[in-house]
Amino acid sequence: MMTTDVNKLYSDLRKKIEAIHNKDELIIIDKAFETANSFHQGQLRRSGEPYIIHPIAVANILVDLGMDYQSIVAALLHDVVEDTDYTLQQLTEEFGEDVAILVDGVTKLGKVQLNSRETKEEQQAENVRKMLLAMSKDIRVIIVKLADRLHNMRTLEFVDPQKQRDKALETLEIFAPISHRLGIRSVKEELEDRAIRFLDPVAYAGIEENLKNSSRSGNDFLEHTKEKILERVHQFVPNAQISGRIKSVHGIYRKMYMQGKDFDQIFDIYAVRIIVDSVVDCYNCLGIIHDMYNPLPNRFKDYISTPKPNMYQSLHTTVIGKEGVPFEVQIRTWDMHRTAEFGIAAHWKYKSGVTTTKQSFDDRLQWIREMLEAQQESGDARELVSSIKTDLITDEVFVYTPKGDVVNVPQGSTVIDFAYAIHSAVGNRMTGAKVDGRIVPIDYVIKTGQIVEILTSSQQGKGPSRDWLNIVKTSQAKSKIRNWFKKEKREENIVQGKEEVEREFRRNYIRLSDEDYEKFIKRLAERQRMETVDDFYAAIGYGGVSIIRLMPYIKEEYQKNYDKSRFEVKTIPVRDNSKKNKDGVTVEGIDNCLIKFSQCCNPLPGDNIIGFITRGHGVSIHKRDCTNVPKDLVNCAEPARWVNAYWNGNVKEEYKATLQLTCLSRVGLMAEIATQVANMRVNITSISTHDMKDGRTIVELTVNVSGVDHLKNLISRIEKIDGILLVER
């Protein structure tokens, strides 16, 4: 049964391919299928289906996007290297270098290659970096990867809830922005919609419901409007074609929960799209539309004269008719339409139709190289992830230079970001800014339509200020500022870096003799691949290396090799349970004993703790302020049984903590909580909600944290979420 299914699936795919690709290509595609099918033999998807359905589905998505045969071959083989015995070398020999690059680009870094100390976040970042590097060599890598992710999102219901959230978040934060940046609209919208369904199921269902309720009347409205428009437009532009669409769930979600609008306040739920033959016709149609309907102020956007960074071009306007329903009108040529739908993929799909020269194609991928270059400066792959999250986000604002040139920058950009977007030299010499002719503070956030003028000093010397790093929004500006400090202020950086290191050491009770300190720092510098200790200080000084991120490793090293205080303990005779203490707690005077954490107060690393020698069950650890611990340990019932206990610094285990959140009930809240928690790299082990009758919701959240500081951090993040009234532990 199963085998016939697979063959049927493949022959359906093959029928589509036959129409597009030639015989020679088909032979290789067949061979790829057979190879993948035999190597994945016996493996199952989480859904219980044979594994091979996944590569077939990925290939199918790529066929629909119009990708070339090598991408399809790579799609069929994309998991063999990661998941089977088939090696990259075999693949290179049998399918050639090009396909091997594609498959290798989507293959995750092996676990062995990653340092075991690296966190999940760092691993993700390293994988993203590997992918971007491969992308910069061959952009098809990411298109195959996006298709892979799309099919995994389509089948996400079969994996466990924690993984669902992780994957959905990663999709929303990394893969949707990349597909947006590449202009592949259909993939981007589906990725976003599916991610939201898992991250915020309640809101998703709400929007679907709203859309369903308004869909009958909405469709009637769209039909009627299209007819009316076409009647007029055809008198002047006979070839114009028109279609209507309803906004995507995620698009509505963003407006509702990120911009705080009501469903009824969203003006572009309905959109009408007019496609014409020439740019002149676009502007003609715009005139007709504005003659027929009243345009809403500030809603007209000319993406024809100023294309979006992903090359999207169209005229947008929002108008309102007699029915009182506002709707968006998008006007574009066929060429623009292909780019709008398929983005970079149009390059393969419309080989002849689209006028893409090699040069302009390369220009369109310049951003990938820029991102990689900025990241190389710092050596921290996580910066890549954060630039994807911030710089590739969907919304940008358009502002004008005093000369009238249009510059687009990510939404939320300050005047400093603007200055650096124009040129590093402008940013570095900036002394202030004017918006619409008035002086503004340097953290001023610019809005679409404003005229921004950067005031610069004529003399070289001054340069940016370190505070700017906390003000700017784009990682592009950030890395340009850091670069300046790196180059111009080495001496200052060394001093600043040294101070930072010493401060962090003091804060973490790391005490070393001068001699040990030198040895210790030298090792640290070497581990960061720095040639000298001064290089290391300088890197910290300009922000290329974060000392705070290094602290866990530093503390561990310190405790292992230098911390003598741990051994200066008195000896108290106690029964040796010969069970090794793995819980990260040292009990004074007792080397090996059974440790258990008391249920009454659930101590966490960082809490002040004390041990109680039980009768026959080792030592139970309480918080010092637990109600079961006597206040006065000298004059209590059995003073001899209370012993001092400490947390070992290098606590690796995770601890459960339960938080009770009191919040104002609102849709979208759970997604925000989940996002904040995931951002902290905290796993949720359980979550439950109780709606109170008074409009409040009690959320009980059990999480795994690595200690009290971690938990405190998490709490303060959660407290900042809109609508959270109280967080209790």
Residues contributing to the site for Mn ion (CB under 5 A)? 79, 148
State the alpha helices, DSSP H only, in 138-184.
140-154, 161-170, 176-181
Question: Of the listed 25, 83, 166, 556, which one is catalytic?
Answer: 83
Residue among 78 and 273 whose Cβ is closer to Mn ion: 78
Q: Please, are residues 458 and 439 in contact by the beta-carbon 8 Å criterion?
A: no
Q: Please, are residues 80 and 100 in contact by the beta-carbon 8 Å criterion?
A: no
Residue among 57 and 610 whose Cβ is closer to Mn ion: 57
Q: Please, are residues 289 and 319 in contact by the beta-carbon 8 Å criterion?
A: yes
Query: What span, in angstroms and rounded, lies between the C-alpha atoms of 71 and 144?
Result: 7
The least CB distance from residue 608 to Mn ion, in Å, is 48
Q: Between 366-378 and 475-488, two packed helices, what is the crossing angle to 10 degrees?
A: 50
Residue among 79 and 126 whose Cβ is closer to Mn ion: 79
Query: What span, in angstroms and rounded, lies between the C-alpha atoms of 80 and 32?
Result: 10
Q: How many CB atoms neighbour CB 553 within 10 A? A: 14
Residue among 63 and 626 whose Cβ is closer to Mn ion: 63
Question: Of the listed 82, 373, 395, 405, which one is catalytic?
Answer: 82
Residue positions counted in the chain: 729
| Identity at 320, one-letter amino acid code | I
The least CB distance from residue 180 to Mn ion, in Å, is 21
Dihedral over alpha carbons 405, 408, 409, 414 (to 10 degrees)? 40
Residue among 148 and 607 whose Cβ is closer to Mn ion: 148
The least CB distance from residue 103 to Mn ion, in Å, is 11
Residue among 148 and 672 whose Cβ is closer to Mn ion: 148
Residue among 40 and 273 whose Cβ is closer to Mn ion: 40
Query: What span, in angstroms and rounded, lies between the C-alpha atoms of 50 and 10?
Result: 13
The least CB distance from residue 104 to Mn ion, in Å, is 14
Query: What span, in angstroms and rounded, lies between the C-alpha atoms of 152 and 43?
Result: 16
Query: What span, in angstroms and rounded, lies between the C-alpha atoms of 484 and 494?
Result: 14
The least CB distance from residue 496 to Mn ion, in Å, is 45
Residue among 79 and 380 whose Cβ is closer to Mn ion: 79
DSSP element (H, E) containing 453:
strand 452-456
Q: Please, are residues 525 and 533 in contact by the beta-carbon 8 Å criterion?
A: yes
The least CB distance from residue 58 to Mn ion, in Å, is 6
Residue among 150 and 275 whose Cβ is closer to Mn ion: 150
Q: Please, are residues 143 and 346 in contact by the beta-carbon 8 Å criterion?
A: no
Both tokens assigned to 613: 């020698």
Both tokens assigned to 244: 């209507």
Q: Please, are residues 699 and 663 in contact by the beta-carbon 8 Å criterion?
A: yes
Closest Cα partner for 679 from 633, 651, 714, 727?
714
Residue among 147 and 671 whose Cβ is closer to Mn ion: 147
The least CB distance from residue 79 to Mn ion, in Å, is 5
What one-character-per-residue DSSP string does 318-351 give? EEE-TT--EEEEEEEEHHHHHHHHHGGGHHHHTT
Closest Cα partner for 40 from 59, 23, 53?
53
The least CB distance from residue 66 to Mn ion, in Å, is 21
| Identity at 671, one-letter amino acid code | A
Residue located via tokens 């074609």 = 241
Q: Please, are residues 548 and 507 in contact by the beta-carbon 8 Å criterion?
A: no
The least CB distance from residue 51 to Mn ion, in Å, is 9
The least CB distance from residue 5 to Mn ion, in Å, is 19
| Identity at 368, one-letter amino acid code | I
Residue nearest to Mn ion (CB): 148
The least CB distance from residue 62 to Mn ion, in Å, is 12
Q: Between 140-154 and 97-106, two packed helices, what is the crossing angle to 10 degrees?
A: 50
Both tokens assigned to 94: 């049998």
Query: What span, in angstroms and rounded, lies between the C-alpha atoms of 550 and 226?
Result: 60
Q: Is the dihedral of CA 459, 460, 462, 463 positive or negative?
A: positive
236 backbone dihedrals φ, ψ, rounded to 5°: -110, -35
Is residue 82 annotated as part of the catalytic site, yes or no? yes
3-state SS class at 520: helix
Residue among 68 and 148 whose Cβ is closer to Mn ion: 148
- Catalytic residues, by residue number, are 82-83
